[in-house]
Structure 1
Amino acid sequence: MNVYGIWRALNIAEQNKGKGGSIGVATCGLARIKYAKGDHDKAAELYHSGLDILRKSGLWATGDIALESVKMEAAEFFSVVGRTKEAQDLWEEVLHEKERSIGVNSPRLVVHLQNLATSYAQDGKFERCEPLLRRSLKLLTTSLGPTAPQVSIPLEFLATTLHHLGQNLEAESLARQCLNIREKNFPDDHLLIGEASNILASVLHANSRNDEALNLAWRALHIKEKHLGKNNKQLAFVLDLLLDIMDDLGKTKEVKPVLDRLDALLGGSSMIAP
């Protein structure tokens, strides 16, 4: 546990003497130590124990920011170690508590909506992501305006989700909005523009708009190379997309160097996970 973590645990414990809060927070602090040491099973057991103590203490739904951070920390742990159902239960619990404390129309809910949506996406439950992301987009658009750079985040996430759900016409519209916002707010070679170009290229390819998709995929590749390096394995996804687009366009002469590069990146296997 770092110095800040220890201070936070002690501070919360001092404020909640005799209420069960100190034991619950301390138990979650011990879980953090076990996680750092790689003992994920013990960390999960301790997080569950600490959170259960906090629930029974009467402090759980008080809206205390420090206790909320403990819950979010536990949810992040469960998400990172692949225990997504436990993460989703916690993200949902935090979201509902926040709705009760600040109202259902507060833009401060956006981070909690996106945390829960991210966890569902990690599990491939894109149909459950969609309503959360639409709500997130509406809250940010109402609060900041439709062209604020922050709005591009739920636009990107929602476009990706709809793409996975096969709703590619709407996904294309949202992905274009995302790219347009970022082009107006960031340098041409910004990584966020590379990500938006990549997503729009994928959607356009699904919509058989392959000439534009090819240009955007190359743009995404060049930007990502600049920021991530030419040997980063994350480039494999855009290289694989390029191969698919080239194949549909019949550009057989241009395929081999891209395929060779993809094979080199992946150690001789150009199979990409969906």
Structure 2
Amino acid sequence: MAKVLGSIQRATKAVEVYHRVITIFELSKGAESEDLVVPLLGLGNLLMKEGKAMDAEIPFMRILNIYTKLYGENDGRVGKAMCSLAKVLKDSKGMPLDDNVVEKMRIEVAELLHLVGRGKEGRKLLEECLFITEKYKGKEHPSLVTYLVNLATSFSCSKNFVEAERLLRRSLQIMLKTVGPNDQSITFPMLNLAVTLHNLNQHEEAEQVAVEVLRIREKAFGKESLPVGEALDCLVSIQSKLGKDDIELLELLKRVLAIQEKGFGSESEEVMQTLNKIVFYLDKMGMRDEKFPMQRRLSMLRTKYKHMVQY
């Protein structure tokens, strides 16, 4: 009945019927029942057709929440719901484009789209956020950094490292005008830049950036902190491509291992990954006496995680 009323331009009456259907389902099957999706979708589409994007946001958000709770955020139905919500946000004209609530929702939807493998749609939404912020706050405003870094991450995931590099360099230029060259906050885009340059085979510059990140983080967080371990791990990957001495790389990896054992625990997945790298270098250098205990420990961790996956 609601669908027919909507098709013959009796939108107000159709909305009333949709709300009645939703209420009946809520009372009989609960507020999070999947049966609510059909009337919610019909209501949302009708409101969009009538140019009421702000009102349509509520039913589409409810659909997203229902599917996420029932099937998890990586399910295809969640992705479709997020696409619908993204369109609502794009078409919404009832609130200013730079409204903080709308801006936050755009970011959240973009993140969820990336999680379910819809990176192209998520990237488009982030580009809209960037454009709106540039328009209302200027092209050098510090709030642009979040969008620039998120966009760079998205482009990196799609193997477009050239565009990722451009965005990261721009984010650093903006940050350096605000916080200065030794502030720990700049190390996040800097480390991303080091990885991006590494993927572009610009290993010498990547090493310079990673070394600078390491210096800043050691001073800010301490030499045994997890942020330092992250920088060291990145530096090892870069220096291995530059053909640096295996003994030096092994020592850096042992330092990473000690930091991860302290921060994540001796049986963490991070520790397992670093042990794998250490065993590789020990084997490469023929250091059997050191290799065997590390290899045994690695084997035990692999068995543990294999059983966890099976269960």
Give the TM-score normalised by structure 2: 0.74
Residue ranges of structure 2 left out of the alignment (5+ in a row): 1-30, 32-50, 307-311
Change (3 A) 1:101 1:252: farther
**For 1:131-164, what per-residue CA distance to the aligned partner results, in whole angstroms no more than 9, with x for missing partners?**
1111112211221111101011111111112122
* Aligned residue number for residue 184 of structure 1: 219
Equivalent pair of 2:79/2:118 in contact (CA under 8 Å):
no
Q: Which moved more, 1:224-233 or 1:121-130?
A: 121-130
State the superposition RMSD in angstroms. 2.5
1:187 Cα deviation (Å)?
A: 2.4
* Sequence identity (%): 32
The amino acid across from 2:259 in the alignment is I
The whole-number CA distance in structure 2 between the counterparts of 1:19 and 1:101 is 24
Greater relative contact order (CA < 8 Å, ≥ 6 in sequence): 1
Aligned equivalent of 1:33, options 49, 55, 66: 66
1:25 Cα deviation (Å)?
A: 4.5
Equivalent pair of 1:110/1:139 in contact (CA under 8 Å):
yes
For the pair 1:23 / 2:56, whether they are aligned, the reply is yes
The amino acid across from 2:126 in the alignment is W
Equivalent pair of 1:26/1:50 in contact (CA under 8 Å):
no
Equivalent pair of 1:156/1:175 in contact (CA under 8 Å):
yes
Equivalent pair of 1:61/1:97 in contact (CA under 8 Å):
no
1:22 Cα deviation (Å)?
A: 2.4
Equivalent pair of 2:76/2:116 in contact (CA under 8 Å):
no
* Aligned residue number for residue 246 of structure 1: 282
The whole-number CA distance in structure 2 between the counterparts of 1:29 and 1:76 is 18
* Aligned residue number for residue 79 of structure 1: 114
The amino acid across from 1:141 in the alignment is L
* Aligned residue number for residue 109 of structure 1: 144
Q: Which moved more, 1:249-258 or 1:181-190?
A: 249-258
1:60 Cα deviation (Å)?
A: 7.5
Change (3 A) 1:139 1:221: same
The whole-number CA distance in structure 1 between the counterparts of 2:101 and 2:280 is 48
Larger radius of gyration: 2
> 1:107 aligns to what SS in structure 2?
coil
The 5-angstrom pairing of residues 163-174 of structure 1 reads 163-174=198-209
Equivalent pair of 1:159/1:174 in contact (CA under 8 Å):
yes
Equivalent pair of 2:89/2:106 in contact (CA under 8 Å):
no
Change (3 A) 1:54 1:82: closer
Equivalent pair of 1:25/1:70 in contact (CA under 8 Å):
no
The whole-number CA distance in structure 2 between the counterparts of 1:230 and 1:23 is 50
* Aligned residue number for residue 125 of structure 2: 90
Aligned equivalent of 1:64, options 94, 99, 102: 99
